[in-house]
Amino acid sequence: MPPPDPASFRAAMAGLPTGVTIVTANGPDGPAGATANAVSSLSIEPMMMLACLDRGSRTLLAVQAADSFGISVLHAGQEPIARTFATKAPVAEKWSGVPWSDRDGIPAIDDALIFIACDLRDVLAAGDHVIVTGEVRALEAHEGDPLVFHNGQYRPLSPSR
Ligand X SMILES: Cc1cc2nc3c(=O)[nH]c(=O)nc-3n(C[C@H](O)[C@H](O)[C@H](O)COP(=O)(O)O)c2cc1C
Residues of this chain that interact with ligand X (CB under 6 A) are 20, 32, 34-38, 52-54, 57-59, 85-88, 91, 149
Nearest partner of 145 among 78, 70, 72, 97, judged by Cα:
78
Say how many CA atoms lie within 13 Å of 96 toward its Cβ: 5
53 vs 112, which CB is nearer to ligand X?
53
Q: Tell me how far apart the alpha carbons of residues 120 and 66 are, in angstroms, rounded to a whole number.
A: 8
Least Cβ distance, residue 37 to ligand X (angstroms): 4
Least Cβ distance, residue 21 to ligand X (angstroms): 8
59 vs 133, which CB is nearer to ligand X?
59
129-141/68-73 β-pairing: unpaired
1 vs 125, which CB is nearer to ligand X?
125
Least Cβ distance, residue 45 to ligand X (angstroms): 25
Chain centroid offset of residue 105 CA: 17
